[in-house]
A and B are shown apart, each in its own frame.
Chain A
Amino acid sequence: MSKQGGKGGAAAGKAKKPAKPGADEKREDVLQAVILADSFQDRFKPFTLETPRCLLPLVNVPVIEYTLEFLASNGVQDVFIYCGAHSEDIERYIHESSRWSPASAISPFSSLEFIRVSDANSIGDFLRDLDKRSIISGDFILVHGDVVSNIQLDAALAKHRARREANRDACMTVVLRSVGEQPHRAAKARGITPVFVVDPTTGRCLQYEETHPLQSEHYLDLDPAVFSAGQFEVRTDLVDCGIDICTPDVLALWSESFDYELPRKNFLHGVLKDWELNGKMLYAEILDDGYAARATNLQMYDCISQDVLERWTLPFVPDSNLIHGQTYRRVRGSSYVEDHVVAERGAKVTQSAVGRGTTIKTGSVISGSTIGRRCKIGKNVRIENSYIWDDAVIGDGACVVHSVVAGSVVVGANCQIPEGSLISYNVHLDSDIQLPSEPPARISALTDEKQLAETDVSLVGKGGKGAQYTVVADGEDSDDEDGADGDPAILQSSLIYSLQGLNLSTSSISTLASSDAYDSDDDLSQAGSLQAGESSHARDRLSSFASDDAAKPDDGFHTDAVNGLVDALRADDSDDFDGAKLEFMGLRLANNASDGAMRRAIAVAFVRRAAELLTPDHGALEPTKAAGEALTAKRGAVKFVKEVGVGGEEVASQAEFALALQKALLGVRDLEESGRAGALLAALLQQLYSLDVLEEEGIVAWWADERAGEGEAMGALREKCRVLVEWLENADEEESSEEEEEEEDDDGEESD
């Protein structure tokens, strides 16, 4: 994440060189594409410990081959590949490939470049880097390195161009594949359901949200602006295949919002939300035929593999032999078999793909699976719906069901590998091993730090090698597509889609959220924090400003208190805050609200008022002005905050209030570009400091509080206040005198 833009806010992207429209048109006949070969996820772990995701074999072809071939089949000329983890491996693979190597005469691309970004932590960093390089001259196709698709983009490109000619602000077309309303395996496998609000007549995308089965509330709030479009459809039946047709303006947008990380959840959502600010229009191209999907997780991997075997992806099917040296033929039993495969008499292979040099001994039954090259399958083996990669050895009598067995794995005789097992590279299983089925085993020879794991004899047997791989479940050091959303990632990290074992009962989560979530904030137990944080996060994400209150029907005190305070702050007719204060105290008594709850309600109310002042409807004030206005417009408000909100002189309670402000800002985060939320926090803190509500010790204590940096979003907000805190820390001596003067000024204002 780029930290230097800490206080830039919305202005950060202004320095962007003006797009050269003339040049755009000239080079239009050269189609450029950008492949994002790393998605900063760990859903394919433990396999991705050794191999980058885009080189994992999908029906015995590295995933990136599908993507490159897709681009080639669409006549793309220039390709730029952004690699993150394992970038050397990907580069080596491409350079050694006779078809794609830029040095090769037969490459269908006129240029193919790798771009390395040393400190990239997210896709957003890639795209901001791309913007700086200004190598993109016109419309380009942005794809991920795991797209499998046979669609032809010509029609979508032509539409995109026509729209752009008509209106410069039509800057992006998202290509989506409809999968119908009935349950669909591709829809089930993706874990997160994207929700697109689309104008069906123009195809304009109006709002983007995400839902997943684990969130506490199964509803979405529509942005009121959506209704102004006249006609709209809310569609959840779309598979997002990660193919975007963009103009260079899109990159400028990325640069402007330097904290966007994910192309969908952050960028698409944010840009649509801020439509009134940036005026950019995004369109959705919804396809009803053709195939497009992304191998984003193991379930999608499973689903796409089946689709390839069933030829939905034609011409990207094994017997097209798109990779040099492949010799697949379709044989009886709907299987694809390469040359030099020895299947002994009595071996049965149906609906599978078997790579060159594999031997299958007698009595073995293989169905719905892909077997890599040079595998050795023993006698009477049963392999169902599994993915066996190159050089694996499966001993006699073993049984593999719906699992992934990676390269060079040795499975001993009579092993039972139940559904959902993931066995990573070079693992050895001794004979007669029965792997656990609940939860499915996930065995790796390496640990997360890429060290050799200590062999777990109880799991893999005496002669075995490898140990259970445990997923690091904290959202902080994995820049997962779901960021802090631990839960959907759990859904997606296994091969089998299952809601079993996950706490799905909405009642229990919502109980937690309504009664305890806020009260327990101050002293969250480790166990509770995950769920409570989770649900409140989900709510924040999905709630629009206007209906934020309605989202918490149970939390009577909070809602009423916040509403009352905000109304009082908004009121034009009176500038007295005492009435509101009385009302608030009354509510507090009636509900027996804790100090924490009060603190939070006050924080939310002021933050909401300040945030409101930022919006164009209310004058579009600068964050500093807005903060000042919110706090000082009403007489007695500052005093109220000081007495009731902070509730004392102690450093601890001041820190708590700062924390409450920060959390409250997180709540309205989606309304604001996050940069402004950070700026607003800094402004509020500064105002409170100069109004003598918070003291520097309080702010510093908040800064030091680990909860303030907890989670990505919180950390981002906190980061924006670094300047303020540093200034406080460094310059407290000089400031103290000025501060007093300021204080007097403010007091004067207050008494006006």
Chain B
Amino acid sequence: MAPSQAAHVPTLDGLIKAFNSQPLEASIESLIFLLKRRQVKGDECAKATAHILRQVVAKSKWNDVDQLLSRVQSVGSRLARAAPLEPVIGNVVRRVLGLIRDEASEDRNADDLASEAASDIQSLTPSTHPAPRPAPVPVRPSPSLISTGLQVSKSMFNLLSVADPGDSPMTGASTPMSQAQPASVHALRSEVMDGIEEILDEINQADDQIAGFSEIQIHPGDYVLAYQPSKTVERFLVKAASKRRFTVIIASLAFPEGATEPPYATLRKKLNAAGVDTINLASNGLMAYIPRVNKVIFGAKAVYQNGGLLVDSGSCIAAQAAHEYLKPVIVLCPVYKFCPEDPSDEVSRGELGNPSSFVSYANGPAVDALDVENTVTDYIPPELVDVYLTNLGPQTRHHLASILADHYKTEDIGFSLQLGEP
């Protein structure tokens, strides 16, 4: 049986699958609404942004770098506005913008444009990245198509028609186009797409890379407090468990009503299988355990340039408690979560969630009488954090500036402010 017990609720994976079957604008819009409806959130946002920007580069019409930049900026700012409390989106947009600028300046220096373009195609086709699906993207012939000359000429035709000034919405038809430009546009396009693939790889591999540092951070016999372990933290702990014997104290909110298993049951099973003891803890009992704990670990949603963190609510208590007892606080955060900006007012107040986590809507008198503010994010000031464990290795907050400088271009930092309402 089971005739596609297909879940109908739209997801990111579903969207990525649908990229090729629907127009670009539809994909962008569906992602925006997935973000607005919180159907894509947290770590998925970065991936989603990279995927959609890849589509923007591949599908939208542009004749030069500036047009591409403005396209990416406008799509990026729409995404960022859709989820103002997911700063990761902005980071990925900035990374892509920086990438375009880099590639463009390289291109200008390169002499042999045509050969580069050709080699690009060759270098692209064999590398089937964990990209959504090797379906034909207009400018990127798939291996099967290459064998027939007709198809290639068709795609070449597309290629030219993309560069046709008449089609461009941005420039007037009078813009003089040199013969070499289509080729350079094509080369730039594939280079940028390559670059975005790399960013995607980085995002996908970041957790593993961070986990690679686990044995340095965790010592045998440690008592590690993990506050509401995220996926990143889970992987980190499991990796450490394969090498070390230690004890994990998993702190979380109260036992969720109606849940059949205690929270983080799968994580505990994995850790226990590796011989690591676990202790489950409700967050209000956390203080009692702090003296026993050697280090506190949690994941961040974002790191601001001052070193402050955007985290799941409750982490701040753990960090503060650890700070009082001079226990090291280790924050796991991949580099793509570093934001080249300061936390906004909204961030410091925290995002408000659904009150039903604390008061059931079925509790009539409480619904009437109480005004429940359920903050789902916390802001942790930089002085409470000791180590930022990134995929490039552990850092202190004094070195954050260099990481930011390495990854973002100053002109892209305020990208979303440069454009008004689209």
Does A associate with B in a complex?
Answer: yes
Residues of A within 8 A of B (CB): 25, 28-29, 31, 69, 72-76, 99, 105-108, 152-154, 157-158, 161, 165, 177-180, 182-187, 237, 288-291, 310-312, 314-315, 320-322, 325, 329-330, 332, 334, 351
List of B residues within 8 angstroms of A72 by Cβ: 10, 33
Query: Known contacts A184-B367, A185-B364, A320-B37: does B9 contact A105 (CB below 8 Å)?
Result: no
CB distance from B87 to the nearest CB of A (A): 16
Write out the residue numbers on chain A whose beta carbons fall within 8 Å of the beta carbon of B30: 106, 108
If A153-B8, A182-B363, A311-B355 touch, whether A329 touches B346 (CB-CB below 8 Å) is: yes
Contact assessment for B360 and A314 in the assembled complex, using a CB-CB cutoff below 8 Å: no
Q: When the two chains form their complex, are residues B29 and A106 in contact, meaning their CB atoms are under 8 A apart?
A: yes
Q: How far is the CA of A105 from the CA of B30 in the complex (A)?
A: 11
Q: Is B172 an interface residue (CB 8 A)?
A: no
Q: Are B362 and A310 in contact (CB under 8 A)?
A: no
Is B8 within 8 A of A183, CB to CB? no
CA distance A178 to B368 in the complex (A): 16
A184 touches B364 (CB 8 A): yes
Smallest CB-CB separation from B371: which chain A residue?
A310
Apart from the given pairs A29-B6, A153-B8, A185-B364, 15 other A-B contacts in the complex at a CB distance below 8 Å: A31-B8, A74-B9, A105-B22, A106-B26, A107-B26, A108-B10, A153-B9, A157-B8, A180-B364, A183-B364, A185-B367, A186-B364, A288-B360, A320-B37, A325-B421
User: When the two chains form their complex, are residues A334 and B373 in contact, meaning their CB atoms are under 8 A apart?
Assistant: yes
Which of these, A106, A152, A179, contacts B364 with CB under 8 Å?
A179
Q: Does B353 reach chain A (CB closer than 8 Å)?
A: yes
Residue B147 at the chain A interface, CB threshold 8 Å: no
* List of A residues within 8 angstroms of B28 by Cβ: 106
Cβ B365 vs Cβ A154 within 8 A = no
Q: A99-B29, A178-B362, A334-B373 are in contact. Are A314 and B354 (CB under 8 A)?
A: yes
Q: Which residues of A contact B231 (CB under 8 A)?
A: none
Query: What is the minimal beta-carbon distance from B36 to any residue of chain A, in angstroms?
Result: 5
Whether the pair A288, B362 counts as a contact (CB closer than 8 A) is yes
| B356 interface neighbour in A99, A105, A108, A289, Cβ under 8 Å | A289
Q: Which of A180, A322, A332 contacts B362 (CB 8 A)?
A: A180
- Give Cα distance in the complex from A177 to B362, angstroms: 9
Q: Can you show 14 pairs from A to B with CB atoms below 8 A apart?
A: A28-B6, A31-B8, A177-B361, A178-B362, A179-B362, A180-B360, A289-B258, A311-B355, A320-B37, A320-B38, A321-B36, A322-B37, A334-B371, A351-B371
Residues of B within 8 A of A291 (CB): 356, 361
**Within the assembled complex, what's the spacing in Å between the Cα atoms of A72 and B8?**
10
Contact of A73 among B29, B39, B365 (CB under 8 A): B39
* Residue B1 is within 8 A (CB to CB) of chain A in the complex: yes
Asked if residues A312 and B361 are in contact (CB atoms below 8 Å), the reply is: yes
CB contact under 8 A between A288 and B352, given known A28-B3, A69-B37, A184-B364 = no
**Bound-complex Cα distance A721 to B391 (A):** 83
* Residues on the A chain within 8 Å of B4, using CB: 28-29
Inter-chain contact B38/A108, CB cutoff 8 Å: no
Nearest-neighbor residue (CB-CB) of B82 within chain A: A321
Given A105-B26, A106-B26, A334-B373, do A314 and B38 touch, yes or no (CB 8 Å)? yes
Shortest C-beta distance, A364 to chain B (Å), equals 21
CB proximity of B11 to chain A, nearest CB, Å: 9
Instruction: Rank and list the top 3 A-B pairs by shortest CB-CB distance, nearest first.
Output: A184-B364, A75-B8, A180-B362
Contacts of A183 in B (CB 8 A): 364-365
Residues A330 and B346 in contact in the complex (CB < 8 Å), given A311-B353, A314-B353:
yes
Find out whether the CB atom of B346 lies under 8 angstroms from the CB atom of A180: no
Q: Is B121 an interface residue (CB 8 A)?
A: no
B265 within 8 A of A: no
Chain B residues near A290 (CB, 8 Å)?
356
- Which of chain A's residues has its CB closest to B30's CB? A108
- A310–B361 Cα distance when bound, in Å, is 11
Q: Is B387 an interface residue (CB 8 A)?
A: no
Quick one: closest A residue to B24, CB to CB?
A105
Q: Min CB distance, A335 to chain B, in Å? A: 12
* A322 pairs with B33, CB closer than 8 A: yes
Complex contacts, A69 vs chain B, CB 8 Å: 33, 37
A89 to B277: give the CA distance in the assembly, Å.
64
Complex contacts, B6 vs chain A, CB 8 Å: 28-29
Please report which residues of chain B, range 1-33, place their CB below 8 angstroms from some CB of chain A when the two chains form the complex: 1, 3-10, 14, 22-23, 25-26, 28-30, 33
Q: How far is the CA of A251 from the CA of B355 in the complex (A)?
A: 38
Rounded to whole Å, the gap between the CB of B312 and the closest CB of chain A is 16
Distance in angstroms between the alpha carbons of A153 and B374 in the assembled complex:
24
- Say yes or no: B8 contacts A154, CB within 8 Å: yes
Please report the C-alpha to C-alpha distance between residue A321 and residue B371 in the assembled complex, in whole angstroms.
22
Q: How far is the CA of A383 from the CA of B378 in the complex (A)?
A: 33
Q: How near does chain B come to A60, taking the closest CB pair, in angstroms?
A: 16
Closest to A180 in B: B362
Q: How far is the CB of B354 from chain A (nearest CB, A)?
A: 4
- Docked CA distance A288–B256 (Å): 13
Give the contacting residue for B9; candidates A29, A75, A178, A180; CB below 8 A: A75
The answer to whether B9 and A152 touch across the interface, beta carbons within 8 angstroms, is yes
Report Cα–Cα, A25/B2, bound state, in Å.
10
Interchain CA distance A311-B372 in the complex, whole Å: 9
> A154 with B373: in contact, given A180-B364, A184-B362, A315-B38 (CB under 8 Å)?
no
Contact for B10 among A28, A73, A107, A322, CB less than 8 A = A73
Chain B residue numbers with a CB within 8 Å of A288 are 258, 360, 362
Residue of chain B at shortest CB distance from A98: B29
- Taking a contact as CB atoms closer than 8 A, the residue among B14, B29, B346, B365 that contacts A182 in the complex is B365
B359 to chain A, nearest CB (A): 9
User: Is the CB–CB distance between B37 and A310 below 8 Å?
Assistant: no
- Residues 351 to 401 of chain B near chain A (Cβ within 8 Å): 352-356, 360-365, 367-368, 371-374
**Chain A residues in 8 Å Cβ range of B354:** 311-312, 314
Taken residue by residue from 66 to 98, chain B's Cβ proximity to chain A (1 for < 8 Å, 0 otherwise) reads as 000000000000000110100000000000000
- Assembled-state Cα–Cα distance A178/B367 (Å): 14
Return chain B residues, CB-CB under 8 Å to A158. 5
Contact yes or no, B352 A311, CB < 8 A? yes
Given contacts A180-B360, A291-B361, contact A320 B36 (CB under 8 A): yes
A73 closest partner in B (C-beta): B37
Q: Which residues of A contact B9 (CB under 8 A)?
A: 73-75, 152-154
State whether B23 touches A105 (Cβ < 8 A): yes
Contact, CB under 8 Å: A108 / B33:
yes
CB of A676, distance to nearest CB on chain B (Å): 38
Report B353 CB to chain A, min CB distance, Å: 6
Nearest Cβ on chain B to A338's Cβ, whole angstroms: 13
A389 to chain B, nearest CB (A): 24
Instruction: Give the complex CA separation of A291 and B367 in angstroms.
Output: 13
Q: How far is the CB of B383 from chain A (nearest CB, A)?
A: 25
Complex CA–CA separation, A351 to B373 (angstroms): 12
Contact indicator per residue, chain B 332-366, by CB within 8 Å of chain A (1) or not (0): 00000000000000100100111110001111110
**In the complex, what residue of chain A is closest to B354 when comparing beta carbons?**
A314
Inter-subunit contact A315/B36 (CB<8 Å): yes
Q: Say whether, besides A180-B364, A310-B372, A330-B352, A154 and B7 are in contact (CB < 8 Å).
A: yes
Closest B residue to A188 by CB, please name it.
B364
Q: Which residue of A lies closest to B39 (CB)?
A: A73
Asked if A179 and B26 make an inter-chain contact with CB atoms under 8 angstroms apart, the answer reads no
Q: Residue of B at shortest CB range from A179?
A: B362
User: Which residues does chain A contribute within 8 Å of B26, judged by CB atoms?
Assistant: 105-107
Task: Tell me, in angstroms, the Cα distance from A75 to B6 when the chains sit together.
Answer: 11
Q: Which residue of B lies closest to A316 (CB)?
A: B37
Q: Which residues of B contact A187 (CB under 8 A)?
A: 364
Q: How far is the CA of A388 from the CA of B354 in the complex (A)?
A: 25
